[in-house]
Structure 1
Amino acid sequence: MTSRGFEKALKNGLFCKKTQTNALNLLLVSTALTCSTAAVAQENNLLDEVVVTASASEVTYKNAPASISVITAEELENQGAKDVRSLLESVEGLTFNRAGNQSKVQIRGLNENYTLFLIDGKRVTSAPNAFRGNDYDSGWVPLEAVERIEIVRGPMSSLYGSDAIGGVVNIITKKETEEWHGSLTTEYTLQENRKSGDYGRTGFNVSGPLLKDKLFMRTYGSWDFRRQDSGSLNPDSPSGGANAGFAKSDNKYIDTTVTWDVNEENSLDFNAGYSKRTHDKTTLDRFSGGITHHGSYEFGETELRAFGDRIENSYGHGNTSGKNEPNTAYNFTGDGKVSFDADFVVPQFITIGATYQHQSLEDKHVLTGEGGSYNSIWQASAFLEDRFEISDSFEVTLGGRLDRHERFGWNASPRVYGVYHLTDALTFKGGWSSSFKAPTLLQLSPGWQQISCGGNCYLVGAEDLNPEVGSSFEAGFKYDEAKWSAGITGFHNTIKDMIPFPPARTPDAVAAKNFSNYVGETPDGKPIFKFQNIEEARTMGVEASLTVRPIDKLTVFANYTYLDAKNISADNAPLAFQPKHSANIKLDYAFSEKLSFALSANYVGEQYTWIPADGNTTFASKVDGYITADFSGRYDVSENFTLRAGVMNIADNQILKEDGDAFNVDGRRYFISGTTRF
């Protein structure tokens, strides 16, 4: 974080009483952190870091009213990651739905439909363009542009509304600098098994002033790719069909932000970007833009912004004719908030805000009802968050959001959370949240008719769907000292009126008539099924973490997640792609100021990859648990050039896809990376 950015963080974010004592405390914190940034980063001590995702305003990590994980800039630089998803794999509470060899992020047993992705606090979604689920939204920002990633585990509907019922991943990009600086990174990964596709990336980030102390610019760009796996890599399925490996991918990005510091109280950010991501046959072109106003006044802080994007899918939703059936989605959001101190009985920090969202889709191939090839939906909301400083060691956050949805009227999402510091080292946290998720634009479109069952049945939207409603409770503690830290959190989530994806369906025209969501058949006799609210799910578990620094040069990180994810409506059947056990361990050793090494291992437990609609696991598909381990090293050749290299999946524990519901895990591979800074 630059000194300019850090001063803004302190000025705008820390919860404090406007007294001479706290002003002095902030000055001391600022001085201490400025002088010891390197030491803090080396110890991975995040307690005094400012985070922005867990609360309506900036707050220190230690006081964040949620279970939050942060992947820092230092971790980004030291890992041999190829994209954001590979960084998230080591975070407790996160699992991945790998159907179709995608990597779709799931939080606490809830699939990707319940995870909200943000870029600098602005939501992104390409769900209307690729309704079958996709892994595009976790990758709209290349690694070169990422300052840090904040992951909130647990529902955040009180702040972010629909889609945050499982949790939030906020990708925070690097900010402008007061002097011109930049970096260029090139990386290549070579597969030992030459049937597997190599991959690599090249990217840059440049930032500096256009007009001293007034106008600043930051631009980043990147290209990353993966070559397609050989068609002979995987064995054929028992039915005789070929199992595809990882498909070809080709992703390009360019983005520019101009910041104008109008005066001491006001600043404006202007942003525009373009991304083109191609995975297999599907290419999404995303054009984005927005403007943000930041205000810092005597009474408090304000933020007002408008942003949106246009996403074009040149392939479309998929069909059996082999022809492209393109579509275009438009997303717009306007929001604003004001934060200020108050002193009613106890010191408080209050944030009041409002949001308006509009989403539309143009698709002449699957939107065929009376509304033609266009459909849209809007949602407006107001939210309030109040952080009470009950005492120097105890804070309570009360929050609530009131949403007005075009189809469903009013929905309320209250939240209460407490943070208690028993000592400087020991912190207890816990709270309860409610949440809701509105059906997607396509699920609500009665004129939507999408092919499925391998071309032998159809899916349609339904206007009689209800929002999915969730409730979540969590409690835990964190102990942190200079030499070691540990934490454990237990959680319990329930979701009612779940909309299963995909809905129950069959290509058998006779059996289809017994399905509760059967609505008829096409002129050529193919059955048609609609989406419906039928399920209730419950997920519960424990997340534990441990960090030990036995010597100054060595740090050991470890975490473990126990997850019990069940479909209550299907006789307590387990949910697919939800391993009961997962664990990570990593050792970082700084051999010298210039040379460091990292050794990490990841365990993913046994998991089901497909379960029948009735929950009978006798005929379900599953994969065994597996372990992968990586080794990497970093050497600072000079002040301006860093070389990294390593071996991924050292033991070559490669997993080959044996049926359509399984997935691949790459075997042993070698990477080398160089970063030049100027």
Structure 2
Amino acid sequence: MCHGIMNNLRYVPIGTFLLCVGSVSASEVTDEVMVVTATSYQTKASTAPASVSVVTQEDLALMPYNNLADALTTTPGVHIADLGQGRKGIEIRGMDVSQSLILIDGRRVSRASDLLGHSNIELQNIPVSDIERIEVIKGPMSALYGSDALGGVVNVITKPTTNEWQGSVRGGGSTVIDESGNTANIEVNTSGAIIEDKLYLKVSAGHAYQGLIKSRNHEHETDIAGNRNTFVDAELKSILTEKQELDLFVRVGENETWYDYIPTSGDGEGLKTRSTNVFDTLDYGVTHSGYWDFADTQLRIYGSRVSQTNEKNVGTPNTANDVDEDVIDGYAQFYAHDAHHVTVGGQCSEQRLKSADLTSGKDSADQAALFLQDDISLNQQLSLLLGVRYDDHSDFGSHVSPRAYLVYAPSDNWTLKGGYGEGFKAPTIKQLSPEYLSVGTGRPFDIRGNEDLEPEVNKSYEVSAEYRSSQWGSTLTLFQNDVENLIDVSCVEGCSGRPQPGKTIYEYFNINQAEIKGLEWAGHVALSPAFDVNMNLTLLDATDKDTGKTIDSKPESQAYLALNWHATDQLITQVSMRYTGEQTYEDNDLPSYQVFDLAANYKLSDIDFSMGVSNVFDTYLADKSEHFTYAIQPRQVYLNGTLRF
């Protein structure tokens, strides 16, 4: 296998009404966004064989975002889960954070955080000033992308490099009203041709700071951890011939996070303790692209090295960990008999963990795969995508993941879609190791592995209808995930009272059968040339079929509403509301809450400013229920500026 190669539903009428109105009269369709993630080649977002949401630069201009999670807070079907002390993860359609595959220009980012307590370092080292758009594919994409795509895929598309040298400087920050926790960020990006039409270079560097935010109700404890992140990356593109390109990529980063707590037992009992974790990361990649007469080809070798260390001012530091990953993948794409757009390829990956917590001191897992995809044009209005992937895992053997998706576009305004897909994900090294305790990464509890875990399998169905015109658009999607052996966590030690690192122990276990079904609706309306409204709604029902209980930490509803005012050609303002519905946690019902934001963007030819107030009414979850184990960002005033040159 790879080891040798690597070597080392009450709201339904709203969406239905808006969809049905479109059948009365059709109007001119606006220019459409093109996407690549659904098929691995460029296609229209509306007719892509998948549920696709796209976050554009215009969307990002009205967000106080400093990482990928911040940029997806308003995307339908996406829940930004809290992993403890303010660290975030991306959940798609009720699936877990580890089941969302993150890509940058189609390249998988490190999943080392799965072995380091969901530290979310994979969301930090992304140059936000270099983002062209973000494509979110909802539903299992394992047939094309393999493991980790059980819930969906997030692909960050960066800006292309041209012959002309250009660059930008982005900087700013925020201040939290009446308490500590200010933020600051700066990022520099430049790109251009070293040799015109032959050799291109792109370099980015950034630094971001988040001050620690103390708990309002528990002295000497932390609501949101302090965080400091620095990275530098470089990409080199060489045009070898008219038909061949070679790309080199490297990124180095350091992420530091710190939080306070008071141990209630063991080492340092009763003393204020500050735990500081440092993650040193190295990512690399080499890509060869060929554009031949018979096919387009791509071969990539890439990977990452992540080292985690811990320090405490009281007591014994947590064990250091090293996670290495290497991946080789490639594909060939070609047309067969004009109507068939065929993609065939394979992937080989290996992940290695070194930790003193493991009996042997280290462990590894590798996986190999072959996949085939055929996008068939049945006629001008109807297409059918068929795909299948064969995986062979070092611990769990072989598995086949099929996919079928039908797209029907009877007119320029209407698109109807539907399909079935499966996803497969084996437990990680950490999840399978009962002697390995995931500690000290910003959560209020520790997690222990379970050697009896089985791989997760998601069998997913969806159907959607979309209407779009120059004045308004609406999309309604129904989906259902039937998940076998869904991996969850349950408290097994120190479960009474507030969770405490080093005392409260959770353990992984399989939910034999889980059903996660729901509805997504998104719409936009141009009220006038100056005013438009964006809105979306997600309803979710996540149930453990064995017990009949609702699965924890899955909000039953989410909604977003924003009114945009295009005051001038340069100035856009926005008032918005984000709503999170009721959810359960440890047999406790958590109430719904909403967050209101104000934002503005002022753009000139070479510079633009984003400013606003987030969480205007300073929503604090602990005031709504003592059972919330996390906090959201308090009210803050922010200002960011970008200078382009």
* Corresponding residue of 1:405: 393
- Check the 8 A contact 2:485/2:511 in 1, yes or no: yes
C-alpha offsets along residues 495-518 of structure 1, whole Å, 9 cap, x if unaligned? Answer: 1122322x552359xxxxxxxxxx
Partner in structure 2 of residue 143 of structure 1? 128
Classify 1:460/1:582 alpha carbon distance in 2 versus 1 (closer, same or farther; 3 Å).
closer
| Alignment-derived partner of residue 462 in structure 2 | 474
Distance in 2 between residues matched to 1:223 and 1:410, nearest whole Å: 43
Once residues 99 and 309 of structure 1 are traced to their aligned partners in structure 2, the CA distance between those partners, rounded to angstroms, is 23
1: distance between equivalents of 2:527 and 2:385?
A: 36
1:286 matched residue in structure 2: 281
Q: 1:648 to 1:129 in 2, by over 3 A?
A: closer
**Partner-residue secondary structure (3-state), 1:407:** coil
C-alpha distance in 2 between matches for 1:360 and 1:665: 34
Structure 1 599/46 Cα, relative in aligned 2: closer, same or farther at 3 Å?
farther
Q: Distance in 1 between matches of 2:523 and 2:212?
A: 38
Deviation at 1:83, TM superposition (A): 2.4
1:65 and 2:49 aligned? yes
Alignment partner of 2:358 out of 362, 367, 373: 367
Separation of aligned partners in 1, 2:504 and 2:611: 54
CA contact (8 A) 2:53 2:137 kept: yes
Q: Any gaps of 5 or more consecutive residues in structure 1?
A: 1-42, 509-525, 612-619
Deviations 1:570-606 (A, max 9, x none): x221122211111101222222222221222111112
Q: Deviations over 1:28-63 (max 9, x none)?
A: xxxxxxxxxxxxxxx99563x321211133322122
Q: Distance in 2 between matches of 1:379 and 1:320?
A: 41
SS across alignment from 1:602:
strand
Q: 1:646 to 1:533 in 2, by over 3 A?
A: closer
**Which of the residues 231, 234, 245 maps onto 2:216?**
234
- Report the counterpart of residue 518 of structure 1 in structure 2: none
Change in CA separation of 1:457 and 1:328 when aligned onto 2, cut-off 3 Å: closer
Residue 149 of structure 1: CA displacement? 1.0
Of 403, 406, 414, the match for 1:415: 403
> Partner amino acid for 1:115?
S
- Residues in 1 aligned to 2:612 and 2:511: alpha-carbon distance in whole angstroms: 48
Q: 1:68 to 1:451 in 2, by over 3 A?
A: closer
Q: Which residue of the partner structure matches residue 505 of structure 1?
A: 492
| Partner residue of 1:387 out of 375, 397, 404 | 375
Mapped partners of 1:444, 1:267: distance in 2: 41
Aligned to 1:551: 528
**1:383–1:528 distance in 2 versus 1, CA, 3 Å:** same
Task: Give matches, 1:210-359, under 5 Å.
Answer: 210-230=194-214, 233-236=215-218, 243-280=221-258, 281-315=276-310, 321-343=315-337, 347-359=339-351
Whole-Å separation in 2 of the counterparts to 1:530 and 1:82: 32
Quote the residue 2:607 is aligned against. Answer: 641
Look up the match of 1:159: 144
| Segment of structure 1 superposing worse, 100-109 or 205-214 | 100-109
Q: CA shift at 1:94, angstroms? A: 1.0
- When residues 375 and 128 of structure 1 are mapped into structure 2, their CA distance, relative to the original with a 3 A threshold, is farther
In structure 2, relative to structure 1, the CA distance for the partners of 1:446 and 1:44 (3 Å cut) is: farther
1:631 Cα deviation (Å)? 1.6
Native 8 Å contact 1:129 1:313 kept in 2: no
In structure 2, the gaps of 5 or more residues are 1-27, 259-275, 496-502
Does the 8 Å contact 1:184/1:204 carry over to 2?
yes
Q: CA deviation at 1:160?
A: 1.2
Contact 1:84 1:142 in 2 (8 A): no
> Equivalent of 2:419, from 428, 431, 438?
431
- Residue 353 of structure 1 deviates from its aligned partner by 0.6
Q: Please tell me whether the aligned partners of residues 29 and 468 of structure 2 are also in contact (alpha carbons under 8 angstroms).
A: no
Task: From 472, 478, 495, give the equivalent of 1:484.
Answer: 472
> Alignment partner of 2:278: what SS?
strand
Q: 1:65 to 1:218 in 2, by over 3 A?
A: same
**Equivalent of residue 189 in structure 1, options 145, 170, 174:** 174
State the partner residue of 1:36: none
How many residues matched? 590
CA distance in 2 between partners of 1:458 and 1:663 (Å): 17
Deviation at 1:381, TM superposition (A): 0.3
Write the letter of the residue equivalent to 2:357.
V
Higher RCO (CA < 8 A, seq sep 6+): 2
Provide TM-score, normalisation by structure 2. 0.86
Q: CA RMSD in A?
A: 2.7
Distance in 2, matches of 1:132 and 1:326, equals 13
Using the TM superposition, give the Cα deviation of residue 188 of structure 1 relative to its aligned residue in structure 2, in angstroms: 1.3
Q: Distance in 1 between matches of 2:29 and 2:469?
A: 11
Matches of 1:319 and 1:197 in 2, distance apart?
21
d(CA) in 1 for partners of 2:277, 2:406: 45
Percent identical: 30
Instruction: State the shift of 1:459 in Å.
Output: 3.3
The aligned counterpart of 2:554 is: 578
The correspondence of residues 106-185 of structure 1 with structure 2, limited to 5 A, is 106-127=91-112, 130-185=115-170
Provide the residue aligned with 1:561 in structure 2. Answer: 538
Separation in 2, partners of 1:376, 1:259: 33
Please state how far the C-alpha of 1:324 moved relative to its aligned partner. Answer: 4.0
CA shift, 1:282, in A, is 1.9
Q: CA deviation at 1:450?
A: 6.0
Indicate conservation of the 8 Å contact 1:128/1:329, yes or no: no
Residue 616 of structure 2: aligned partner: 650
Partners of 2:559 and 2:439 lie apart in 1 by 39
* Correspondent of 1:540 among 503, 512, 517: 517
- Whether the 8 Å CA contact 2:256–2:279 is kept in 1: the answer is yes
Alignment of 1:15-34 (within 5 A): none
* CA deviation vs aligned residue, 1:260-302 (integer Å, no higher than 9, x gap): 1112211111101111112222221110111111111212211
Cα distance in 2 for residues equivalent to 1:622 and 1:479 = 37
CA pair 457-442 structure 1, distance change in 2 beyond 3 A: closer
Deviations 1:176-229 (A, max 9, x none): 122000010111111112x24111211111011100110000111111111111
Higher strand share: 2
Deviation at 1:251, TM superposition (A): 0.7
Cα distance change on mapping 1:655 and 1:172 into 2, 3 Å: same
2:361 is the counterpart of 1:376: no
> AA paired with 2:523?
L
* Corresponding residue SS for 2:310: coil
